[in-house]
Amino acid sequence: MSITPIIPANWQSSLPRGNWVIQSQAFDQSIWTKTGCSVIPNAGVDINGLTTEDLITRTMAGPSFVQQAITKSASNITVTLSAYVHAGTLGNYFAMSMLGAAGGNSADVCFNLATGSISLAATPSGGFSNATATISATSQVGLYRCTLTATTDTNATLYLLFSSSSVSQAASGTGSANSTNIYLWGAQLEPGSVAGTYIATTFVADYGIWSGVNGLPVFPYLPGQAIALKKAPLFATKTKRAASGRERRTALWPYPLWQFELSYEVVRHRPANDELATLWEFFNAAQGQYGSWLLLDPSDNYDSGVQFATGDGVSRSFQLARTLNSAIEPVYAVYAPTILDNGAAAGSYAIGANGVVTFATAPAAGHALTWSGYFYYLCRFSQDDMTFQQIVNLLWAGDSLKITSLRP
Question: How confident is the model over 221-231, as pLDDT tens digits?
Answer: 998 888 888 99
Q: In angstroms, how far is the first alpha carbon of the chain from the final one? A: 16
pLDDT band per the 50, 70, 90 thresholds, residue 17: confident
Average pLDDT over residues 281-295: 96
pLDDT band per the 50, 70, 90 thresholds, residue 11: low
235's CB contacts (< 8 A; 6+ apart) are: 251, 252, 253, 256
Are 295 and 218 within 8 A, CB to CB?
Answer: yes
CA pair distance 55, 42, nearest whole angstrom: 8
pLDDT band per the 50, 70, 90 thresholds, residue 241: very high
Are 292 and 378 within 8 A, CB to CB?
Answer: yes
Average pLDDT over residues 262-272: 92
Break the chain down into helix, strand, coil percent, rounded to 5. 5, 50, 45
Provide the pLDDT for residue 400.
Answer: 93
pLDDT band per the 50, 70, 90 thresholds, residue 296: very high
* 224 compared with 33, residue with greater pLDDT: 33
CA pair distance 340, 202, nearest whole angstrom: 18
Q: Is 325 a residue whose pLDDT tops 80? A: yes
Average pLDDT over residues 304-325: 96
Question: How confident is the model over 169-190, as pLDDT tens digits?
Answer: 999 888 898 899 999 999 999 9
Are 250 and 289 within 8 A, CB to CB?
Answer: no
Q: Is 14 a residue whose pLDDT tops 80? A: no
Mean per-residue pLDDT of the chain? 93
279 three-class SS: helix
67 three-class SS: strand
* 33-207: in CATH 1.10.246: no
Q: Phi/psi of residue 70, each to 5°? A: -115, 130
Provide the pLDDT for residue 318.
Answer: 97
* Domain limits, the chain: 33-207, 302-375
Q: Is 235 a residue whose pLDDT tops 80? A: yes
138's CB contacts (< 8 A; 6+ apart) are: 47, 84, 144, 145
Quote the percentage of the chain above a pLDDT of 70.
Answer: 99
Provide the pLDDT for residue 102.
Answer: 76
Q: Is 2 a residue whose pLDDT tops 80? A: no
Provide the pLDDT for residue 62.
Answer: 86
Provide the pLDDT for residue 6.
Answer: 77
Q: Is 387 a residue whose pLDDT tops 80? A: yes
Provide the pLDDT for residue 314.
Answer: 97
6's CB contacts (< 8 A; 6+ apart) are: 210, 220, 221, 222, 278
